[in-house]
């Protein structure tokens, strides 16, 4: 079965006025079908991601580019909260592409502090798909996309991989690659979240490092973030009050040469798990999103992760003493 939905061009314009009205209504509602909170399953969100890939194939063709389905490593153990983070990333990249094409850039509300359901992911995916379709007019697209079939046996990890394919395909249309500034911003978000956990447990929050790092590489930053993830995984596993569905996600095997994008993906996994911990503790304030930084380096990111690690040490000490 092909991974992208088939594309066919409507050539019958003479009979198209009535059909156009119907298609407009369908597109407004979302070809992949509306998401319902009680019935949404991973397979429905997976179909939305497949539809996004089909839409991107249209953009590639309109831009006279060849489209090849991006290769993304398989993963396991992903939960809806992790998929939601990746869908939000695709939404942000779609806004970058809109901006590059002269359209208004729209922001996202903060991530809600609650245990994420498939319906939450589906709603975000539908919003993202609608934003992606606003590029049709810019690219002069009049083709329509067939509705992909639902696939049985789909789990959140499958959806996560499919959404990452969408993200990779967006880069081929000119969306800028991830740079240390992007990673630094999300690392600061993670530090803000751990600061709230520290406040909850009555221990000192974030404090600057005494000796700033220099000359760090993305590979070293990846290793540091992975170490933080394993530390958090151990802390949560030993503290029943911090129990979250599936626990803290184990870090994936590092790529041979980690890039800033690989580091960002790992930070986003930790952000999703930290938000789930907040929900478990009843901390309902959403994550604060820092302003977009400039001029940041891997060493700057490394030091933010060090700050996060020190906060986690203090939280662990308090839990152990208690």
Burial (Cβ within 10 Å: 0-12, 13-18, ≥19) of residue 124: buried
What are the pLDDT tens digits along the chain (322 aa)? Answer: 444 443 334 433 333 433 343 333 333 334 445 555 558 999 999 999 999 999 999 999 999 999 999 999 999 999 999 999 999 999 999 999 999 999 999 998 888 788 899 999 999 999 999 999 999 999 999 999 998 999 999 999 999 999 999 999 999 999 999 999 999 999 999 999 999 999 999 999 999 999 999 999 999 999 999 999 999 999 999 998 888 999 999 988 889 999 999 999 999 999 999 999 999 999 988 887 888 899 999 999 999 999 999 999 999 999 998 7
Give the list of residues 6+ apart from residue 137 with CB closer than 8 angstroms, or none: none
Record the pTM: 0.85
- Bridge partners of 135, per DSSP, are none
Phi, psi (deg, nearest 5) at residue 288: -80, 130
- Bridge partners of 48, per DSSP, are none
Identify whether the C-beta of residue 98 lies closer than 8 Å to the C-beta of residue 105: yes
122: which 2 tokens? Answer: 């589906």
Burial (Cβ within 10 Å: 0-12, 13-18, ≥19) of residue 214: exposed
Where are the chain's structural domains? 7-171, 180-321
User: Distance of CA 36 to CAs 23, 40, 159, 259, Å?
Assistant: 21, 6, 17, 37
């Amino acid at each position: 079965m092909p991974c992208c939905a088939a594309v066919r061009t409507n050539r019958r314009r003479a009979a198209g006025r009535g059909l156009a009205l119907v298609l407009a209504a369908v597109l407004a509602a979302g070809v992949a079908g509306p998401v319902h909170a009680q019935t949404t399953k991973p397979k429905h969100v997976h179909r939305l991601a497949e539809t996004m890939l089909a839409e991107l194939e249209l953009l590639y063709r309109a831009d006279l580019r060849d489209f090849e389905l991006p290769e993304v490593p398989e993963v396991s153990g992903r939960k809806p909260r992790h998929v939601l983070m990746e869908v939000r990333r695709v939404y942000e990249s779609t806004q970058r592409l809109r901006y590059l094409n002269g359209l208004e850039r729209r922001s996202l509300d903060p991530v809600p502090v609650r245990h994420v359901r498939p319906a939450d992911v589906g709603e975000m995916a539908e919003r993202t798909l609608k934003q992606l379709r606003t590029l049709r007019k810019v690219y002069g697209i009049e083709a329509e996309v067939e509705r992909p079939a639902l696939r049985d046996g789909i789990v959140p990890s499958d959806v996560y991989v499919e959404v990452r394919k969408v993200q990779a395909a967006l880069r081929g249309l000119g969306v800028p690659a991830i740079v240390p500034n992007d990673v630094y911003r999300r690392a600061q978000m993670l530090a803000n979240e751990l600061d709230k956990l520290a406040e909850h447990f009555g221990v000192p929050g974030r404090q600057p490092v005494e000796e700033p790092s220099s000359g760090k590489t993305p590979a070293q930053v990846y290793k540091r973030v992975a170490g933080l993830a394993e530390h958090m995984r151990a802390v949560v596993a030993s503290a029943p009050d911090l129990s979250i569905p599936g626990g803290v996600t184990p870090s994936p095997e590092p790529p041979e040469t980690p890039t800033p994008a690989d580091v960002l993906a790992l930070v986003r996994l930790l952000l999703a798990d930290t938000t789930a911990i907040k929900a478990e503790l009843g901390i309902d304030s959403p994550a604060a999103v820092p302003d977009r930084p400039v001029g940041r380096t891997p060493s700057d990111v490394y030091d933010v992760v060090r700050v996060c690690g020190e906060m986690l040490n203090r939280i662990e000490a308090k839990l152990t003493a208690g």
